[in-house]
């Protein structure tokens, strides 16, 4: 299986037929995974913490949306065998458990588009740090899961600055957003790990593109999980800019 990074957006994206179809088509073109390991921008916890290994209620970690978005369900099977594999790879002392924690919107929103039947076991793991090198190393440790048919998914956003978002969607994409997105896409395409690990210093527009860094962090995990020696391949699934946030999804390794 590949490791992939996708832009999850808000729960309202499930009403965007174009976005849903693109993710669903993308998933259909991948081998069917034995399980999904999801790392979402919306769960930071140290050490690496594993969510529920049986179906529990979703985490509706958003506020002020219409009521229907709090009625969404995604009853995917738990993945206890995958949890055991993660513990084995990371070492039991380096892993904690949160058996009551369900999938957050960074996990279930894209999964509902990709695998709407909710018939693939899913395990969510937390991001234990925002340090780029440590995130990349975490991905390298998780790399063997791909040989077991596990789809490793990093769910975030290339740029994420809600404070300056044009909610009406009429403003042109600012230069700092498009420049940061393009820089990241090119670095991923050529497999420039050194540049990506030093993105806070090297990338143009980074301070505006990422006032906080949790949405970029999952990309670094999936880069680490990419097969060593294989040049990453980029497939822009939704390769357009929505005001100050750019939707881009890539298959890595």
By DSSP bridging, strand 95-97 and strand 122-127 are unpaired
Q: What is the DSSP string of 12-75?
A: GGGG-HHHHHHHHHHHHHSPPPSEEEEEEEEEE-SSEEE--SS---------S--GGGGS----
Distance, CA of 152 to CA of 130 (rounded, Å): 18
Position 232 scores a pLDDT of: 44
Position 130 scores a pLDDT of: 98
Let me know: does 244 contact 169? Beta carbons within 8 Å: no
Domains of the chain: 3-252 (3.40.830.10)
Element at 83 (helix H, strand E): helix 80-90
Position 237 scores a pLDDT of: 38
Look up residue 204 and give its DSSP letter.
T
Let me know: does 200 contact 206? Beta carbons within 8 Å: yes
Position 52 scores a pLDDT of: 97
List, in sequence order, every residue forming a beta bridge with 245; answer none if it has no partner: 242
Position 228 scores a pLDDT of: 53
How crowded is the C-beta side of 184, counted as CA atoms within 13 Å?
28
Show the tokens assigned to 61: 């970690």
From the list 218, 194, 193, the residue with the least C-alpha distance to 128 is 218
- CB under 8 Å to 193, separation ≥6 — which residues? 136, 223
Position 167 scores a pLDDT of: 59
Alpha carbon 146 to its chain centroid, in Å, reads: 16
Position 231 scores a pLDDT of: 43
Q: What is the DSSP string of 90-157?
A: H-GGGEEE-TT----HHHHHHHHHH-TT--S-EEEEEE----HHHHHHHHHHHGGGGGGTEEEEEEE-
Put residue 26 in one of left, alpha, beta given phi > 0 → left and psi -120 to 50 → alpha.
alpha
Mean pLDDT by 10 residues, the chain (253 residues): 90 91 95 98 97 96 93 97 98 93 97 97 98 97 97 93 64 84 93 96 95 96 78 39 44 62
Distance, CA of 209 to CA of 177 (rounded, Å): 6
């Amino acid at each position: 299986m590949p490791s992939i990074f996708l832009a999850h957006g808000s729960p309202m994206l499930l009403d965007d037929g174009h976005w849903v179809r693109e993710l669903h088509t993308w998933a259909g073109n991948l081998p069917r995974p034995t399980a999904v390991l999801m790392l979402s921008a919306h769960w930071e916890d140290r050490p690496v913490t594993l969510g529920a290994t049986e179906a529990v209620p979703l985490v509706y970690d958003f506020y002020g949306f219409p009521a229907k978005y709090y009625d969404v369900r995604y009853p995917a099977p738990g993945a206890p065998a995958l949890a055991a594999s993660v513990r084995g790879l990371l070492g039991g002392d380096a892993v904690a458990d949160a058996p009551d924690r369900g999938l957050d919107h960074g996990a279930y929103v894209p999964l509902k588009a990709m695998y709407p039947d909710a018939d693939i076991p899913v395990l969510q793991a937390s991001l234990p740090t925002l340090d780029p090198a440590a995130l990349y190393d975490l991905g390298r440790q998780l790399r063997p899961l791909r040989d077991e048919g596990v789809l490793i998914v990093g769910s975030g956003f290339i740029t994420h600055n809600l404070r300056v978002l044009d909610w009406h969607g009429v403003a042109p994409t600012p230069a700092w957003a498009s420049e940061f997105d393009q820089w990241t896409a090119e670095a991923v395409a050529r497999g420039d790990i050194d540049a990506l690990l030093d993105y806070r210093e090297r990338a143009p527009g980074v301070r505006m593109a990422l006032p906080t860094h949790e949405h970029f962090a999952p990309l670094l995990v999936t880069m680490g999980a990419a097969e060593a020696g294989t040049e990453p391949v980029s497939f822009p699934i939704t390769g357009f800019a929505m005001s100050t946030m750019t939707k881009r999804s890539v298959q890595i390794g």
